[in-house]
Structure 1
Amino acid sequence: MFNGNVLIADQGKITFEKNYGLANEETGQKLDNNTVFELASISKQFTAMGIVLLEKQGKLKYDDNISKYIPELSFYGNISIRNLLNHTNGLPDYIKIFEEKWDKTKIATNQDIVNLLVQYQPKPVFQPGEKYEYSDTGYTVLALIIEKVSGKTFGQFLKESIFKPLKMENTFVYRRRFETKEIKNYALGYITDSSGHKILPDSLGKEFYTYYLDGIVGDGTVNSTTEDLLKWDRALYTDKLINSRDKELIFNSVKTKNGEETQYGFGWFIGNSKKYGKIVYHSGGWPGYSTFIERHLDNDKTIIILQNTSDTKINAALQQVRMIMYH
């Protein structure tokens, strides 16, 4: 039913921490508190933080047009960095384009996304600011902007600016097929085949998108542990990286041009509940991984769930977890 690690904290104190199942089906290696998981879209909050830190250093502005940093994309008009951060950019989905147009024997990088957009010029889905539509493409462009502005790789910049200062020693950008490296305590991600057996996505061959999209960063590819994510959660209550002005932007929903709430800030979904107060959260899904982090800002409670199978749905369990937390 469930294969992964769970950590629940109340005001930063761990009230529940447990590991269920295996990190590696073949060797029988069990998960433990320091097992590293691919975070999938939870990575977006680190990409957003990278941009916030560069803005604080005066190296970019949120309302800069993206063509200032990636001139090739000027044909998309006035898309700002802010539009990328809160998914109001209207850029087409790169995953679909790659499925149709990409040479699957090669592993793509972020620059390849820009190159394909330039080559095929797919129309924007809507004009910037008009609508909210969750956009992986937007976050890959943000990662490229981070690299261009900082002069460092995305992974290096996050390491120096976020992971090292917060002592997140088991957190890094990792592209398993693009840049192979040995990680001792790693949760391999499993999917289920048609007969119900757990298999690795790699067994589906190079035509499967986890292979040829493995070089792309920004929308995913941050890897971490439950305990490192708790360090991240704690730091966000302090001014260690950012101040209250920055937090206003990160943890508040923006409106589209017609006044609709997006329920998204900078790399976080925003929710308000009569029962639990203000909640910010993000989920992540990628073949083999299903991840979740939720922070109750008014009551300082934290839920972190990292799974290395992508089939389990955790919404029902979450309701119960919240009830227990407030019991």
Structure 2
Amino acid sequence: HDRFLTVNDMVHLVAQYRPDPQGAPGAHENYNQTAYLLLPGVVEKVAGQEFSHYVKQHILEPSGMENTHFVTDMPGYKERIGAAHLDNLFAFMLGEGNMVSTAEDLFKFDRALAQEKILGAGIQELAYTPMILASGEKGRYGFGGGLVDDKPGNRVFQHLGQGVESHVIFSRYIDADDVLIVVHDRSVEYAVPVYKAIRNIWKKRPFELPQPRVEHRLSTNLINKYVGDYGDNGFMHITTEGGKLFIQPDGNPGKMEIVPSSDTTFYFRDQAVDWQIYLNEQGEVIGFGPLGQKEFMMKRFRQQN
């Protein structure tokens, strides 16, 4: 945790530790941020040039995107990042973000795609086509996004991007050759409901504005019950201070408040994802993880005596 990672570092880590595969190739699909971290390395091998130069030459310049930049190119970026720690190890890696843009520039990108300035029509259609899994079931993801509506004549390809300073929802209405781009620079927590309201206004449908999220008060007994170590080797710690709960992983100098929305559900401020404390039938804490996804929880770590 004491230095910033590169693509080669990640490849060497996988080669060294050989983590178990999640399944056979094509068995199932998951959104995989690590794959986007590795992608620039593939591009550099094939194109024979730095990834940032390739993107500028083949995407930004043909699209006329003059207000889109890699954050690593911005003045003072290295000084703002400071020393390496668990939360910023990928700060100088490109591929899964690390760019800033505007809604206008993203619209130029969409027009460049539609006019085949970046990709040919056949390749672009392939990007909109989810893979067929080994079971014969059709997946959801294409290249760089998901097909959220696959009805012929009404296909919608969408990607949600969360950055350091903004949240973007990019929806391409393929068959109508239309696009809705919402850049939300104030709060990730309300980005999706704000997007839905804007979309419904755009479509001349009834809409609802997002309401403030509930802040539930936990009893002292529950707070003390939830405090502890979670995950492999207990690397994730839930602590308490001033009647509030915080979560902090090993190697991270900072901690984040987890705000209760009920006795067992939580959220992080400025995030849209809901979390849950999982209990067994005896009411004992067995883990902490995404709401309703027990299979992905970090199990409560209990030190062996």
Return the TM-score normalized by structure 2: 0.60
Of 108, 117, 138, 2:35 maps to: 138
Question: Offset at 1:229?
Answer: 0.4
Mapped to 1, the partners of 2:191 and 2:152 lie a distance apart of 20
CA contact (8 A) 1:110 1:215 kept: no
Of 129, 135, 138, 1:261 maps to: 138
Of 195, 208, 218, 2:95 maps to: 218
Is the counterpart of residue 207 in structure 1 residue 85 in structure 2?
yes
Mapped to 2, the partners of 1:273 and 1:319 lie a distance apart of 19
CA contact (8 A) 1:291 1:306 kept: yes
RMSD: 2.6
Question: How many aligned positions are there?
Answer: 202
CA contact (8 A) 1:287 1:310 kept: no
Question: Offset at 1:309?
Answer: 4.5
Aligned counterparts, 1:79-158, within 5 A: 104-158=1-55
Amino acid at match of 2:75: K
Structure with the larger RCO, 1 or 2 (CA within 8 Å, 6+ apart): 1
Q: Which residue of 2 aligns with 1:314?
A: 191
Other structure's SS at 2:20 match? coil
Is the counterpart of residue 181 in structure 1 residue 75 in structure 2?
yes
Question: Offset at 1:222?
Answer: 2.6
Question: Offset at 1:217?
Answer: 1.5
Mapped to 2, the partners of 1:247 and 1:299 lie a distance apart of 15
Post-superposition, which runs of at least 4 consecutive aligned residues in structure 1 deviate over 6 A?
Answer: 273-276
Q: Which residue of 1 aligns with 2:64?
A: 167
Larger Cα-atom Rg: 2
Question: Offset at 1:296?
Answer: 1.5
Question: Offset at 1:108?
Answer: 1.1
Amino acid at match of 1:243: G
Other structure's SS at 2:65 match? coil
Mapped to 1, the partners of 2:120 and 2:201 lie a distance apart of 32
Gap runs ≥5 in structure 1: 1-103, 184-200
Mapped to 1, the partners of 2:152 and 2:135 lie a distance apart of 29
Gap runs ≥5 in structure 2: 205-305
Cα-to-partner distance string for 1:65-106 (whole Å, 9 max, x where unaligned): xxxxxxxxxxxxxxxxxxxxxxxxxxxxxxxxxxxxxxx221
Aligned counterparts, 1:16-31, within 5 A: none
Share of identical aligned residues, percent?
28
Question: Offset at 1:320?
Answer: 2.5
Other structure's SS at 1:280 match? strand
